[in-house]
Amino acid sequence: MRALLPLLSVGRGWRVGAAARPPRRVMSLYRTEELGHPRSQDYRLFFKHVAGHYISPFHDIPLKADCKEEHDIPRKKARNDEYKNLFNMVVEIPRWTNAKMEIATEEPLNPIKQDIKNGKLRYTPNIFPHKGYIWNYGALPQTWEDPHLRDKSTDCCGDNDPIDVCEIGSKVLSRGDVVHVKILGTLALIDQSETDWKIIAINVNDPEAEKFHDIDDVKKFKPGYLEATLNWFRLYKVPDGKPENKFAFNGEFKNKAFALEVINSAHERWKEMVMKKCDKGAISCVNVHICDSPFHCTMEEARSLVESVPTPSMNKESNAEEEVWHFLPN
């Protein structure tokens, strides 16, 4: 019997094994289901449509948020132009946590898993005064930073992943949440000569969201947060013996308009990939909802893919590494 542990979560709603909580007012189209034990190498978090069939969070969740379709009306009405620029964000890593969770781009249906480094689970170090990730961290679905395409603004190719998002709202979100975000700006990290965009965004349902419309609002209402973000990305690999990270534009955060251009470009590259019009490398493009894609599969085939995953070990691995603190120069 496979050890599937369903997390019947709608956003941060009811969960198996947790104290009963009333569901949120806002209902999501997406649920998650755990396979294996957290802090183990075979842990996977699969995604389901609310109708119950498995999907890929990379390919089947749309990039642009459709509030009417998803019955997810923002708590406080956004400005008209902002409704046009609401995006879905898949939360991989909740704020203040250390486990380096990510969409498994090379696995069918792209579940979230913990990254492995040198045969061990990867944890991002605590760099004083920060505990783990200082934002809710995740990705924009249906985007791809093409490793074969040189970015015209950074002169470096992409990092072969969906675009990363740093969500700066006041709430701590949960792994697997799919939330609507407003785009505020972006930072261009250059990681081992690859362009790794970091989109700055805020959950549209956050109590503070109505104050934020562009990157300058982050400077105004969260003073020091962008500086902390830059410093975090500059230093987070130093404890592993690597040099400080570099940035395009001398570490300047670009505004919303610039960020939207980056996102649109990455979405176009994703379209090329999922339609088999470019070299996708080892990435799995198996999807359920893109009917004209050569990688399309049926709901039954998707279920079979999940059921074919080997029965995981339930042994819990140590998380001692995430408790280490590093004191580095600012």
Under the banding of pLDDT at 50, 70 and 90, the label for residue 84 is confident
Under the banding of pLDDT at 50, 70 and 90, the label for residue 197 is very high
Residue 319's pLDDT is what?
54
CA distance 313 to 330: 41
| Amino acid identity at 304 | S
Assigned domain for 321 exists:
no
The tens digit of pLDDT for each residue in 234-263 reads 999 999 899 999 999 999 999 999 999 999
Residue 2's pLDDT is what?
39
Tell me the average pLDDT of the chain. Answer: 87
CATH code where residue 182 lies: 3.90.80.10
| Amino acid identity at 263 | I
Assigned domain for 299 exists:
yes
Under the banding of pLDDT at 50, 70 and 90, the label for residue 155 is very high
DSSP 280: -
Residue 15's pLDDT is what?
34
DSSP string computed for 54-68: EE-TTTTS-SB--HH
Under the banding of pLDDT at 50, 70 and 90, the label for residue 67 is very low
Residue 22's pLDDT is what?
33
Residue 97's pLDDT is what?
97
Percentage of the chain modeled with pLDDT above 70? 83
Range of the domain at 93: 30-66+84-309
Q: Which residue would you say has higher pLDDT here, 143 or 19?
A: 143
Under the banding of pLDDT at 50, 70 and 90, the label for residue 14 is very low
Burial class (CB in 10 A: 0-12, 13-18, 19+), 321: middle
Q: Residues 127-140: what's their mean pLDDT?
A: 96
Give CA 164 to chain center in angstroms: 6
| Nearest CA among 59, 67, 60 for reference residue 27 | 67
- In degrees, rounded to 5, the angle at the alpha carbon of residue 224 between the alpha carbons of residues 221 and 226 is 90
Assigned domain for 14 exists:
no
Residues 6+ apart with CB under 8 A from 98: 123, 124, 125, 126, 131, 132, 133, 319, 321, 322
Based on the structure, what is the number of domains in the chain? 1
Please determine, for residue 208, whether its predicted confidence score (pLDDT) is greater than 70. yes
Assigned domain for 79 exists:
no
Assigned domain for 57 exists:
yes
Whole-prediction pTM: 0.87
Under the banding of pLDDT at 50, 70 and 90, the label for residue 79 is low
Assigned domain for 59 exists:
yes
Residues 6+ apart with CB under 8 A from 298: 288
Residue 313's pLDDT is what?
64
Assigned domain for 120 exists:
yes
Instruction: Count the Cβ atoms, other than its own, within 10 Å of residue 12.
Output: 17
Residue 315's pLDDT is what?
60
Assigned domain for 7 exists:
no
Identify the helix (H) or strand (E) that includes residue 269.
Answer: helix 256-274
The tens digit of pLDDT for each residue in 279-320 reads 999 999 999 999 999 999 999 999 999 999 887 666 666 555
| Amino acid identity at 259 | A
